[in-house]
């Protein structure tokens, strides 16, 4: 199949396009490196523990299954519902956008097809917005 006709989101196409586990590890390392250094992200960085090792592993494992690859998060840590897992955090529009901004910077550095870069960011905006909504609902009615 020609790369231009790959349908992301079918089977493990997205996982493969992201470079499988090795590619996802590079993406997530880059993502958290940006979170640690970009001033726009200092607030969300400070919501995390000082040591980001566990966060890096968990995000790689989650993205693996989410992109159609091995369900590593479930295998290692059990079931997760992403908005519920964040509802105790105060995540508004700025925090949501800062997270996506770090991801955009990280995705831009990866050797992905442009179409996959755009697809991945659009897909990630969906859980990011659900997290913001869950956080808002929780603040209103904990
Ligand atoms: C909307 C902006 C986001 C912010 C500010 C944010 C922030 C955080 C923080 C602070 C933690 C650590 C939680 C804790 O220690 O209690 C965390 C964990 C996590 N986040 Fe996010 N996150 C965001 C979006 C996302 C998205 C879009 C995904 C998935 C695509 C994601 C996946 C995860 C995963 C898998 C964990 C580990 C959960 C666990 O095992 O407890 N996050 N996030």
* Residue 9, phi-psi category: left (phi > 0), alpha (psi -120 to 50), beta (remainder): left
Is 6 a residue whose pLDDT tops 90?
no
| Residue 140's pLDDT band (cuts 50, 70, 90) | confident
Is 85 within a domain? yes
Is 11 within a domain? no
Q: Is ligand 1 within 6 A of the CB of residue 106? A: no
Determine the average pLDDT of the residues in 14-42.
98
What is the total count of domains within the chain?
Answer: 1
The CATH number assigned to the domain holding 106 equals: 1.10.490.10
Is 71 within a domain? no
Is 60 within a domain? no
What pLDDT is recorded for position 118? 98
In this predicted model, what pLDDT tens digit does every residue of 34-50 receive, in sequence order? 999 999 999 999 999 99
Is 64 within a domain? no
Q: How many angstroms does the Cα of residue 2 sit away from the middle of ligand 1?
A: 34
Is 14 within a domain? no
What are the φ/ψ torsions at residue 138 (nearest 5 degrees)?
-70, -35
Q: How many angstroms does the Cα of residue 44 sit away from the middle of ligand 1?
A: 10
How confident is the prediction for the chain on average, in pLDDT? 96
Domain that holds residue 97: 19-52+80-140
Q: How many angstroms does the Cα of residue 128 sit away from the middle of ligand 1?
A: 9
Is 121 within a domain? yes
């Amino acid at each position: 199949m020609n790369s231009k006709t790959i349908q992301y989101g079918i089977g493990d196409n997205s996982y493969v396009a992201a470079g499988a586990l090795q590619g996802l590890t590079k993406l997530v390392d880059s993502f958290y490196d940006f979170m640690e250094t970009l001033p726009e992200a200092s607030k969300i960085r400070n919501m995390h523990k000082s040591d980001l090792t566990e966060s890096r592993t968990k995000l790689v494992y989650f993205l693996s299954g989410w992109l159609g690859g091995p369900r590593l998060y479930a295998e290692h840590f059990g079931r997760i519902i992403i908005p519920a897992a964040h509802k105790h955090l105060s995540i508004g529009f700025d925090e949501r956008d800062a997270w996506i901004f770090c991801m955009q910077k990280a995705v831009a550095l990866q050797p992905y097809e442009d179409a996959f870069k755009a697809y991945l960011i659009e897909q990630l905006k969906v859980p990011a917005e659900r997290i913001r909504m869950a956080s808002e609902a929780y603040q209103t009615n904990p």
